[in-house]
């Protein structure tokens, strides 16, 4: 019988995936064994670090029989920095596990017969797939990411997932920190100045508690490293804890950058949400719009609209569209983006979707945060005249939970597709088409 005791090694065969880049096995007594760093089919030597009557959590300390899907990680910082989960697996295996995770959630959590048809891979693979990064700074001026479940900064020389630009700016910023001896913010004491480095595309934001007198020197160093095509902002953040941004931004250098998504031009502040993988986001939005089957005379509601990407894309196809978003700053950006694109049939409301009276619509898009939809939002959608809902989700478990509640209100999830927005990590986006039962699809003739 397999003996599992804390700090005593054991050999096991991994039979499944845990959805987080690790494996699952089962002990003779029925206990579930989670094995970090293991792949299905592997025989591994594990070291348990937490054992209960029902669950054992272990680390794989030796791969005795590796899976054919195991690869040598392309990043020197994996798995220490905690940012990636699948660099020990082939990209094909990562995609297989993500699709399996979504469909398992539909079945086991949602009690649904729905099955995601496919997962759309990132054409460029993992490397350079992200357009955004938030780098943390430790008391010694080292720049990197927090180790998983901690605030310990792991030094990052080069991040595999980030763009060349994001990686190239780190060296001059590190040298600027050393040479100017700028103080580093301490979360515990609240003392110190420099807090974080943010980058999206060619935009850089230095987050600090106050504004130093050495910003021009940083500009000179960045220009020497990456040329003149960048934008530098300074963010004044006096809040306690680990909140990324404060309310005030100051432009130090360069014009405000502009992003384009499926032909819609966007200006986005560093604090506003924008999908981190532009090519994959475009695939996601195309699917969502196709699922909606919007007709020219129809009205549309876009919940959790952010800076208005879906709102402005769908405005081309409908009579009227309303975006709802709790962030006033994001709504201001959405209004400016509508004007930038000459769109006049879109309006925007600042409000919590769970508490704001929602205007009537024929079709509703919803793209909530990871926690999913409040039950009050689902009830409000059910009370509306909408017969089509398109649900975009970044968490399979909360998505499945919400689809189950939609079913209780008479909506059927009829189609689902996954998009690998975050290669190398455990996260996956899903798009689901829901139809009110007893309502036929709209005619396009």
- Name all domains of the chain by residue range, CATH numbers in brackets: 10-65 (2.40.50.140), 98-123+262-436 (3.40.50.150), 132-257 (2.40.50.1070)
Q: Is 394 a catalytic residue?
A: yes
Query: What pairing do the DSSP bridges indicate for beta strands 259-261 and 429-436?
Result: unpaired
At 180 the pLDDT is 92
Which value, in Å, is the radius of gyration of the alpha carbons in the chain?
A: 24
Using CB atoms within 10 A of its CB, is residue 14 exposed (0-12), middle (13-18) or buried (19+)?
buried
Residues 323-340 pLDDT 10s: 999 999 899 999 999 999
At 440 the pLDDT is 55
3-state secondary structure of 325: strand
3-class SS shares of the chain: helix, strand, coil, % to 5 = 25, 30, 50
Does the N-terminal peptide bond of residue 79 adopt cis geometry, omega within 30 degrees of 0? Answer: yes
Residues 224-236 pLDDT 10s: 999 999 999 999 9
Looking at residues 104-112, what average pLDDT do you find? 97
Looking at residues 260-269, what average pLDDT do you find? 94
Compare 445 and 298 and report the one with higher pLDDT.
298
Catalytic entry in 75, 219, 305, 394: 394
Q: How far apart, in whole angstroms, are the C-alpha atoms of residue 359 and residue 404?
A: 24
User: What average pLDDT does the structure give for the chain?
Assistant: 94
Rounded alpha-carbon distances, angstroms, from residue 318 to 262, 266, 321, 340, 363: 17, 20, 7, 19, 10
With helix as H, strand as E and coil as C, how does 60-78 read?
A: EEEEEECCCCECCCCCCCC
At 15 the pLDDT is 96
Cβ 428 vs Cβ 422: under 8 Å: yes
At 445 the pLDDT is 41
DSSP string, 339-382: HHTT--SEEEEES-TTTSPPPP-SEEEE---TT---HHHHHHHH
Distance of CA 192 to the CA centre of its chain: 30
Looking at residues 112-121, what average pLDDT do you find? 96
Phi and psi (nearest 5°) for 154? Answer: -95, 120
Percent of the chain with pLDDT over 90: 86
Compare 257 and 114 and report the one with higher pLDDT.
114
């Amino acid at each position: 019988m397999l003996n599992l005791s804390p700090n005593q090694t054991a050999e096991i065969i991994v039979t499944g995936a845990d959805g987080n880049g690790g494996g699952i096995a089962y002990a003779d007594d029925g206990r579930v064994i989670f094995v970090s760093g293991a792949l299905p089919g592997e025989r591994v030597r594990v070291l348990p670090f937490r054992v209960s009557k029902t669950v054992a959590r272990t680390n794989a300390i030796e791969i005795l029989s590796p899976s054919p899907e195991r690869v040598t990680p392309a990043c020197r910082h994996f798995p220490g920095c905690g940012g990636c989960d699948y660099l020990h697996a082939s990209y094909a295996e990562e995609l297989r596990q993500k699709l399996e995770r979504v469909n398992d959630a539909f079945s086991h959590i949602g009690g649904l017969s729905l099955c995601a048809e496919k997962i759309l891979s990132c054409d460029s693979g993992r490397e350079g797939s992200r357009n955004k990064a938030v780098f943390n700074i430790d008391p010694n001026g080292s720049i990197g990411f927090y180790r998983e479940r901690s605030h310990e900064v792991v030094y990052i020389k080069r991040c595999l997932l980030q763009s060349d630009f994001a990686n190239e700016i780190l060296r001059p910023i590190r040298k600027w920190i050393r040479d100017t001896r700028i103080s580093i913010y301490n979360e515990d004491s609240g003392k110190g100045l420099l807090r974080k480095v943010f980058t999206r595309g060619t935009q850089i934001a230095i987050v600090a508690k106050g504004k130093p007198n050495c910003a021009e020197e940083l500009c000179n160093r960045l220009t020497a490293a990456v040329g003149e095509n960048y934008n530098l902002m300074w963010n004044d953040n006096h809040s306690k804890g680990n909140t990324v941004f404060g309310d005030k931004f100051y432009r130090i250098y360069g014009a405000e950058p502009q992003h384009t998504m499926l032909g819609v031009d966007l200006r986005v502040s560093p604090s506003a949400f924008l999908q981190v993988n532009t090519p994959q986001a475009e695939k996601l939005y195309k699917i969502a719009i196709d699922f909606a089957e919007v007709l020219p005379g129809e009205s549309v509601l876009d919940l959790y609209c952010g800076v208005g990407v879906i709102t402005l894309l769908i405005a081309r196809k409908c009579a009227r569209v309303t975006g709802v978003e709790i962030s006033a700053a994001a709504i201001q950006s959405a209004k400016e983006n509508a004007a930038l694109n000459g769109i006049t049939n879109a309006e925007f409301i600042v409000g919590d979707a769970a508490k704001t009276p929602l205007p009537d619509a024929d079709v509703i898009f919803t793209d909530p945060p990871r926690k999913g939809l409040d039950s009050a939002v689902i009830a409000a959608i059910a009370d509306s005249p909408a017969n089509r809902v398109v649900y975009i989700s970044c968490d399979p478990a909360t998505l499945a939970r919400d689809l189950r509640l939609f079913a209780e209100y008479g909506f059927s999830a009829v189609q689902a597709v996954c998009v690998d927005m975050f290669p190398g990590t455990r996260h996956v986006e899903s798009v689901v088409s829901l139809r009110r039962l007893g309502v036929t699809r709209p005619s396009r003739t």
